[in-house]
Amino acid sequence: MDMTAAQLEFLAGPRAAELLVMDLPADELHGLGLLRRSCSPEESRAIMALRALRKRAAAAGRFPQELARQMLATDKLLQQASSMPLAIWKGRRLAEMLGAASPQATESAKPGPEVWDLCCGLGGDAIGLALAGLRVRGVDSDPAAVLCAKHNARAAGVGGLCRFEVADVEQLDLPAEAVVHIDPDRRASGRRSIELADFSPGEPFLSRLAARTVAGAMKLPPGADPAELEGIPAGLFEHVSEAGICKQLIGWWHPDEAAAGDRPGRRATVLTGPPGDPHATSIEAGVAPYAPIREPGAWLVEPDPALVAAEAVDDLAAAEDLWRIAIGLPWLFGGRAVRTPLAACFEVLADMPGRQRDIAQAVRKLGGGCVEVKTRGVKLDTDSLQRRLRGRGDRPLAVLWCRQGAKQRAFICRRAD
């Protein structure tokens, strides 16, 4: 539900804090009835809505459990927010660029440089910046977002390092030495979009912002058209993945991140570890030549989606002595197991044409039980296939099904991890 300013003000207050942790029955109508003994119908509905949002945030694992249980948000703001691992990683990265790296900031620690967090939303990125020891000045045109950001920064223990204000970011008089992080609204047109023309602020402002400030980071969609990005004067574009999903494309600019020649650098990064302390593994993209084409090896290596998006598959192949079996197919093969967060590794147990009956028979012969299906270049209902291919054994298997030229090919594998 969309919350009014009055409902959010109520939710941020002390009276709502007690009701938000109240032991309520699972039945929503019964719960609303109990809440109405202590507050108005509008306030009761807001309590129920926020309890559901907090539960969803905690279950998704995008935020530390303690923060998720105290978070103030609306449905829209929660959908738009960066996960905490991503926010913390960006904060650390900016702090390193500015020479102010800090493993974990506290409100009593000496504050670092100030970063403008434009279009700050519910404050997730501001918290990540502050946890890296940076002072944060958050700005958003939505008063509800600013109210939530203030609350969430305090809940995360970094309220003293953050200040927030309601303003139109396009009207700000930013100093030339400003360092910024910006997360433009991708739903300004009423639907989620990956086209910069649909963003608010739009591409002209984003280009000027990167050109006239000394350093910063710009949150962009992973599927953004490279042609549209040519107008953004960033020195590096970095695709970032978390839990097997390419979540963000970050445009970085800083004197030390100047583009080599006429083209910005490209990088793929995979985040692992707990939400409060992510670990980043990265690879530079576009450095290595195209991987050689050979017959399949004993091991199949599936690059993380961030590597595919950043066109870093061949760089991984060069680093790990791997090869392709077809032009355009991002799966790699090798003669040994590859252990890296940048890819998943599978031992090839069988190689056959992509025919369901033959694959099912091979799964049974291999003692397969649960079957994971991955596809490339073929349109298949993987959920349905996983149910139909399930064997009576107890051995978990994976079927990697692809198109190679005019034919379909399947590899029955065991996950190395």
Q: Report the largest interatomic distance among the alpha carbons of the chain, rounded to a whole angstrom.
A: 72
Closest CA relative to residue 251, chosen from 207, 306, 195: 207
Q: How far apart are CA 155 and CA 69, in angstroms?
A: 10
Same domain, 380 and 409: yes
Asked if residue 72 belongs to a domain, the reply is no
What is the arithmetic mean of pLDDT over 97-103? 70
Same domain, 198 and 314: no
Token readout for 406 is 């005019």
What is the arithmetic mean of pLDDT over 316-331? 97
DSSP state string for 362-373? HHHHTTEEEEEE
Same domain, 121 and 261: yes
Closest CA relative to residue 235, chosen from 271, 273, 266, 202: 266
DSSP state string for 319-385? HHT-BBSSTT---EEESS----TTEEEEEEEEEEES-HHHHHHHHHHTTEEEEEEEEESS---HHHH
Percent of the chain residues topping a pLDDT of 70: 94
- Tens of pLDDT along 17-49? 888 888 888 878 888 888 888 888 888 989 989
Q: How many domains does the chain have?
A: 3
Single-letter residue type at 161: L
Same domain, 188 and 247: yes
Asked if residue 67 belongs to a domain, the reply is no
Q: How far apart are CA 242 and CA 271, in angstroms?
A: 5
Q: How far is CA 350 from CA 356, 373, 376, in A?
A: 14, 14, 17
Asked if residue 65 belongs to a domain, the reply is no
Asked if residue 165 belongs to a domain, the reply is yes
| Per-residue pLDDT at 36 | 84
Same domain, 118 and 10: no
Of 284, 310, 334, the one marking the end of a domain is 284
- Tens of pLDDT along 149-159? 999 999 999 99
| Per-residue pLDDT at 197 | 79
Asked if residue 126 belongs to a domain, the reply is yes
Give the model's confidence band at 108: pLDDT under 50 very low, under 70 low, under 90 confident, else very high. low
Same domain, 18 and 104: no
Q: How far apart are CA 362 and CA 255, in angstroms?
A: 56
Same domain, 315 and 220: no
Alpha carbons within 13 A on the beta-carbon side of 68? 18
Same domain, 120 and 221: yes
Asked if residue 127 belongs to a domain, the reply is yes
Same domain, 51 and 123: no
Q: Which structural domain range is residue 143 located in?
A: 78-284
